[in-house]
Structure 1
Amino acid sequence: MAPLAESFALFAPTPDAGRRCVEFFTVNIRNPHTRKAYARAASDFAAWCALRGIRDVRQVQPVHVAAYIEGLQVAAPSVKQRLAALRMLFDWLVIGQVLPVNPAASVRGPRHSVKKGKTPVLLADEARQLLDSIDVSTPIGLRDRALIALMVYTFARVGAVVKMRREDVYDQGRRSWVRLHEKGGKQHEMPCHHKLEEFLHAYIGGAGIVGDKGWLFRSALGRSGALSERPLSQSDVYRMIWRRAEDAGIQTRIGCHSFRATGITEYLRNGGRLEIAQQMAGHESARTTGLYDRRGDQVSLDEIERIVI
């Protein structure tokens, strides 16, 4: 973390302050993506301050933070994220007695309310088309079908899927279950839909990993069609999805998160309850789950077709 501390000396006017700043990113923030985003926000603010002659965090006033936020030429969600990063960092410095008060606490960010998610989703027949188009005569095909089905039927994040081990698929009460390793070290267990159960067992048997204790979804071993001992990465999955969607003739620009949104939407379309979908998705708030509900897209399309000219 030394380069990080050097990139915004504003927050390290003394050795104790510098150590406290480094601890914020190494101890307080565990998610690597959040750490990277917050470090960028702090570094950008430090650069902004340096251009205005402010080189000690103890000189920062609420008016400075407000002016920085006001001048950002980025979308409202990005502005709110940067302000949140500064608030958390300043809070950490206040607790460490580097600062007497948090200069970002009273600064208000832009109003931004999201009622509908932007993640592209597939219709049920498109999802079936994608799954049915995969050639399952090889372990790689069996793997890809099982992985996509897992994200659809359990609403799983791709980050949780690639962390799964073979023992995370297990039998309980005459049904197969999966254990997902979600953000924050949380474990989330879900029973398998009968199709998912079929696809997972076909993959596990076809890949020869029935009694294995290694990774569940593994990368390919060169061009041999066999699987290695190494796990798939998120970027591997993303590229696989693009390739499979193109082969299936699907034009929607889907990504890994599309299957989470597709599963939630179809569950709700078929009479599922939002609060149960929230539990299945592992969301803290039903409002977050509601962003994945895209049933209104089809309603809007049906209404548009009423415009007969």
Structure 2
Amino acid sequence: MNWKNGITDYKNYLRIERGLSDNTISNYARDLIKLVRFFEKHEIKNNPITITKEEIQKFIYEIAKEVQPRSQARIISGLKGFFNYLIFEDYRNDNPTDLIEPPKIGRKLPDTLSEEEIDRLIAAIDLGHPQGERNRAMLECLYACGLRVSELISLQLSDLYFDEGFISVTGKGDKQRFVPISTHTQKFINLYRNEIRVHSAPKPEFSNTLFLNRRGRQLTRAMLFTIIKDLAVKAGIQKTISPHTFRHSFATHLLQNGADLRSIQQMLGHESITTTEIYMHIDRSQLSDVLHKFHPRSKEN
């Protein structure tokens, strides 16, 4: 087995057996290609089956000079997964990354916007612009439903179940979930859909796509990033924000207002509750109030 065939087979495994998204698979493949280029540069001839721990370690030392600890940890995790796959397929008996420890990193707390900052961003949208109503509907949907950027841009007209108060969302690994949507947000989506989108001419393959660009195609991730960054400048918001900031804010504001973590997990589409628990940091300042209010030993006699 050479590296090219090994990476191709691994990508097929991730897609078919693991059900991972194209973006995730591309990231894994990109890190493996970095490893291959390092070996080519240093004229290391071993293939995926014969490569040793020492040779992997040399690569790790090299990337440690170039990337941050969080990226190092991701690359090491990806390499572990690749060699575990080779063991699973009986190509190898050992994993050369088993004794390689990732760097220690702290858990990064997500950036959030306040409710007032969300309002300022949306208010900065020029509704006189041809894409104004579309942009308002998208941002309202991002914030009200806690969607990932890929989930928003791939929303279909057939995913809208407004009579039932839900939308159908296709998340990571093509997993489907139903997310509740408020009548407030439905109003802005309907305004865009019924007053603006009906006058568009979508390309045949995008006839069911909800949010269209000026050429009748699905919006790109990069375009949504640009829209939000431009609005942040107009609204005078100094934070570095992205579409994902709306998702973080969605979860944080729900938690602050008393929603339980399990419900937030289901709406966000997190497989593990530990992923959702990152939002618990927001409630640190409220823990003392909760203790004094609800614990029997904290009540005054």
TM-score interval for Structure 1 and Structure 2 normalised by the shorter chain: 0.7 to 0.9
Tell whether 2:59 aligns with 1:65. Answer: no
Task: State how far apart, in whole Å, the 2-side matches of 1:120 and 1:166 are.
Answer: 31
**Aligned match of 1:95 in 83, 88, 92?**
88
Return the offset for 1:293: 5.1
Give 2:209's aligned residue. 215
Tell whether 2:260 aligns with 1:260. Answer: no
Tell whether 2:8 aligns with 1:22. Answer: yes
Would you say the 8 A contact 1:166–1:216 is kept in 2? yes
Would you say the 8 A contact 2:265–2:276 is kept in 1? yes
Tell whether 2:33 aligns with 1:43. Answer: yes
Return the offset for 1:264: 1.0
Deviates more, 1:263-272 or 1:55-64: 55-64
Aligned to 2:198, the other structure's residue is in SS state coil
Structure that is richer in helix per residue: 2
Q: Deviations over 1:258-295 (max 9, x none)?
A: 10011111111111112211111111122222334563
Counterparts in 2 of 1:132-281, with a 5 A limit?
132-137=123-128, 140-173=131-164, 176-209=165-198, 214-220=208-214, 228-281=215-268
Task: State how far apart, in whole Å, the 2-side matches of 1:96 and 1:266 are.
Answer: 45
**Aligned match of 1:31 in 21, 31, 37?**
21
1:113–1:287 distance in 2 versus 1, CA, 3 Å: farther
Aligned to 2:117, the other structure's residue is in SS state helix
Return the offset for 1:297: 9.1
Deviates more, 1:98-107 or 1:159-168: 98-107
Would you say the 8 A contact 2:159–2:169 is kept in 1? yes
Return the offset for 1:218: 0.8
Give 1:104's aligned residue. 97
Give 1:305's aligned residue. none
1:268–1:95 distance in 2 versus 1, CA, 3 Å: closer
Return the offset for 1:50: 4.1
- Between the two proteins, what is the percent identity of the paired residues? 24
Aligned to 1:209, the other structure's residue is in SS state helix
Residue type of the alignment partner of 2:5: R
Would you say the 8 A contact 2:155–2:210 is kept in 1? yes
Task: State how far apart, in whole Å, the 1-side matches of 2:158 and 2:140 are.
Answer: 18
Return the offset for 1:196: 0.9
Return the offset for 1:139: 5.1
Return the offset for 1:53: 4.7
Return the offset for 1:147: 0.4
Q: Deviations over 1:65-113 (max 9, x none)?
A: 2343244222222122111222222223333343332222333222334
Deviates more, 1:238-247 or 1:290-299: 290-299
Task: State how far apart, in whole Å, the 1-side matches of 2:30 and 2:180 are.
Answer: 40
TM-score normalised by length of structure 2:
0.80
Residue type of the alignment partner of 2:239: T
Tell whether 2:79 aligns with 1:86. Answer: yes
Deviates more, 1:85-94 or 1:254-263: 85-94
For structure 2, which runs of at least 5 residues remain unmatched after alignment? 287-301
Pairwise CA RMSD of aligned residues? 2.6
Deviates more, 1:229-238 or 1:45-54: 45-54
Aligned to 1:21, the other structure's residue is in SS state helix
Return the offset for 1:137: 4.4
Q: Deviations over 1:122-148 (max 9, x none)?
A: 111111122233233455211111100
Give 1:120's aligned residue. 111
> In the comparison of the two structures, how many residue pairs are matched?
273
Task: State how far apart, in whole Å, the 1-side matches of 2:246 and 2:90 are.
Answer: 46
Would you say the 8 A contact 2:14–2:25 is kept in 1? no
1:177–1:161 distance in 2 versus 1, CA, 3 Å: same
Task: State how far apart, in whole Å, the 2-side matches of 1:44 and 1:257 are.
Answer: 27
Task: State how far apart, in whole Å, the 2-side matches of 1:26 and 1:20 are.
Answer: 10
